[in-house]
Amino acid sequence: IGHVIGGSLAAPLTVKAVKGWYQDLKKPSWNPPDGLFAPTWVVLYATMGVSVSWILQRLPTWKHSVIYWYMAHYVINLSWAPVFFGFKKLRAGLALILAAVASLGVVMLRFAQIYLPSALLLIPYTCWLVFATFLNSEICRLNPNDGTVAKKESNTEYDDDKLSKDLAKLQDAAAKYAGL
């Protein structure tokens, strides 16, 4: 339960981004529907929690290097959404997710040495994380400006007619202010 709650902490930030600026990003044709991500992560965080709890049951103390590796991995995992969705840093998100994949490799090897079923339970998570890494990488490639979406020209272009109308409004406001 703790893992699911931890993984859900960035949900408001993620939902806001998915309904906002993320929609304007170019994404690959194989990008899953937005509604698939939340339920997938809930299941994966639950399996992560079960996996690490099995390891904790088999250790004489939680102060074991494998737990430190796991905690570091979990923090990297939890940091990805705020960086990618909150700060809109696609490439920093890619660096984090690559670090997550690498640290997960170490965790799985260490878990397998202690209790193989615990490592095997992380296989679906590993597959999804690798998929998410490729997705993050492709989004970076398709959006070379790191997710900064340029304003549409129609909102920033001025033609002579619009300029004349805005100047007239400004002159009227100035005249009222001056008491004329």
The count of other CB atoms within 10 Å of the CB of residue 16 is 13
Residue 136 to residue 41: CA distance in whole angstroms: 16
**Euclidean distance between the first and the last CA atom of the chain, given in angstroms as a whole number:** 68
pLDDT per position as a tens digit, 130-143: 999 999 999 999 99
CA distance 139 to 141: 5
Higher pLDDT, 178 or 60: 60
pLDDT for position 116: 98
Checking if the pLDDT of 81 tops 60, the result is: yes
What is the rounded CA–CA span in Å between residue 155 and residue 51?
Answer: 51
Amino acid present at 175: A
Average pLDDT, the chain: 83
| pLDDT cut 70: percent of the chain above it | 74
Pick from 42, 40, 48, 41: nearest CA to 121: 48
- pTM for the full predicted model: 0.75
